Structure 1
């Protein structure tokens, strides 16, 4: 008997690797491990993005232009990432033409959706919509998505690299406190806010090193780093999984004061490594970051960010307690096994319901 087939509709962010891309990759790999025939359809198969995916064993194929293309229909079509609304519309059209269930994971905040109505039309028409938090679910329901279609799945870490924190510190001359920013260097992620906070933090903690890891995204990114140039600032671009994991293991805390997000994957990765986070306020941020327990939530401005980072650097016992709580939370609540369980159940329910409906016709 042939395996049940699911195809994900998603395009990457090369040269960046956004949380939505990693989520699609991890979900496809996790479902493949559960016996599903999985693959990713993309309308923009970039050589490098495809290579990243294929290295994990995930199949990447061109998005079918029409349902009558020489492509066998899957049992489920699942579009991921509202930042590319046309992909959601294309996935919905294919699913409806084939008569198979359609699922959506918006995965990004409404503030960055290029076409809000196309996204919401796709979500309203979907058989299942996967939200990352209660706040996102409530927002989508308020926009007309049926409650019966909404399912909360959360986020999970995936750190396949081998951590060498001592090696990372030695390679970059870091022998004191280390604060890590990890993500695309775009204003909404808060890297500029942290850059502007460094002088305030150094006033109390002069030996602190700041590592900014991730691709440059803003056009003036180079100029901003030049303006704040200091030997205590280390800027890295895209790195391999070993270096990323090593940076997370080497730091004392992660500071990504993002203002436009749903459930940043970097927070879960930090927590998996036992590190607290300094975060800012976004839709559902109080649900994602438990203030005072696994991190600190502050206003997105240099002074409050500096005060939060300074507080954690000045109180190592509090910092370590937050890291332990965060790591325990990941073990109990957050992880790809739990997410795959929830998604697998929804897929199978959708397929069974669709087949029952077809038999009754």
Structure 2
């Protein structure tokens, strides 16, 4: 089976949708599929990763040749944040006369062209969703229920963790709260900054560490307004520092309001850390309140209370981290996701071949 993925990525940053596509492509290549990724903005690390697992990375094609001897059996486009990629994937699939699949990945609140996204999803042969809330949204918007398939995702932690080094280099000796992700308001980094004073009233030796690309235009101004030695802000870090930060933290706080299933939660659970999430659509499906993390309104007061609850009770914090880790090992793996998607691919391609053979 020949599969072509379409996704332009977030160069120079790497986001969850991009990583989902990469690890799915790797899993399919391991299963013996002929896999190529069409991406116009893939960073060097991602391209090396793809080459290392036997996946070719090529520019996004402008048009398809219906008579191409090398035409794929299926086209799969990723990420509704780039609706032009969904349109391109659909056009390629229809020109090649092969099934078309979509993984929206991004929440509806950040779609730049809602109708373009929904049109592609309604016309797709398969739409892969991450939560029941996302599935319900798609059904309500006219996507056929039979085209919807629930999948999960797993952590992305290729780096080597050295939590002691991470803390030593940054002078962290007390509790550490980690924000890991793009620094955009919908992810909640400003809410955590505004919660800092209340957190310090109860836990004055707590460090708040913010890692990830600076997305908002006034990002640096936000940190300048909350300058304090206990606030540590870095931009893009390498995989070793990312893994080390997770291992060094006491908890991960990403009070996002516009999301589907933040990959950082799975990464936190991989390191047995509890998470604090907020009230995006489907958040209760992703984070089980009181079991593997806490749900808090995306406001400074509730976020500060949630952070302090976990810092106040180390036993509860450790229990939640362990339960998240157990759940991840049981449910949230790339192998499970790849198996599920591969079954859908096989059914679609088999049906297409049967249809062509009947002509």
The question of a shared fold, defined as TM-score above 0.5 by the shorter chain, is answered with yes
CA contact (8 A) 1:276 1:319 kept: yes
Partner of 1:208: 206
The farther-off stretch of 247-256 and 58-67 is 58-67
Q: TM-score, normalised by structure 1?
A: 0.96
Aligned-pair Cα RMSD in Å:
1.4
Q: Is the 8 A contact 2:10 2:18 kept in 1?
A: yes
Aligned to 2:120: 122
Instruction: Give the 3-state SS of the residue equivalent to 1:93 in structure 2.
Output: helix
Residues in 2 aligned to 1:187 and 1:349: alpha-carbon distance in whole angstroms: 41
Aligned position for 1:29: 26
Cα drift, residue 154 of structure 1: 1.6
Structure 2: distance between partners of 1:226 and 1:111: 28
**What secondary structure, in the 3-state scheme, does the structure 1 residue paired with 2:120 have?**
helix
User: Equivalent of 1:281, from 279, 282, 293?
Assistant: 279
**1:63 offset after TM fit, Å?**
1.3
| Counterpart residue number, 1:152 | 150
In structure 1, C-alpha distance between the alignment counterparts of 2:231 and 2:47, rounded to whole Å: 31
1:14–1:48 contact (8 Å) kept in structure 2: no
Asked if the contact 1:8–1:41 (Cα under 8 Å) also holds between the matched residues in 2, the reply is yes
Give the deviation of 1:68 after TM superposition: 2.0
Distance 1:55 1:234 in 2: 35
Q: In the alignment, is the contact (CA less than 8 A) between 1:64 and 1:71 conserved in 2?
A: no
Q: Deviations over 1:63-113 (max 9, x none)?
A: 111112978211110000000101101111110111111000000001111
- Separation in structure 2 between the aligned mates of residue 221 and residue 332 of structure 1, nearest angstrom: 38
SS of the equivalent of 2:172 reads coil
Kept after mapping to 1: 8 A contact 2:65/2:96: no
Between the two proteins, the alignment pairs up a number of residues equal to: 357
Give the match for residue 179 of structure 1: 177
What is the CA deviation profile of residues 194-227 of structure 1, one whole-angstrom value per residue up to 9, with x for unaligned ones?
A: 0000110000000001110001010111111111
Give distance in 1, aligned partners of 2:344 and 2:32.
15
Residue 305 (structure 1) aligns with = 303
Deviations 1:125-163, CA, capped at 9 Å, x for gaps: 111000001110111011000011000002211211111
In the superposition, relative to structure 1, how do residues 46 and 152 fare at CA in structure 2: closer, same or farther (>3 Å)? closer
Partner SS, residue 168 of structure 2: helix
* In 2: Cα distance, 1:47 partner to 1:203 partner: 42
Report if aligned partners of 1:53, 1:60 keep a CA contact under 8 Å in 2: no
Give the TM-score, by structure 2 length.
Answer: 0.97
Residue among 324, 327, 330 paired with 1:326: 324
Shift of 1:33: 1.2
Q: Secondary structure at the match of 1:278?
A: strand
Deviates more, 1:157-166 or 1:62-71: 62-71
Deviation at 1:300, TM superposition (A): 0.4
8 Å CA contact 2:26–2:50 kept in 1: the answer is no
After superposition, residues 97-246 of structure 1 pair within 5 angstroms as 97-246=95-244
The match for 1:75 is: 73
Please give the secondary structure, in 1, of the residue aligned with 2:171: coil
Q: Deviations over 1:233-270 (max 9, x none)?
A: 11111111111011101100000000000011000110
Contact in 1 for aligned 2:12/2:43 (Cα 8 Å): no
Distance 1:147 1:51 in 2: 35
Q: Secondary structure at the match of 2:90?
A: helix
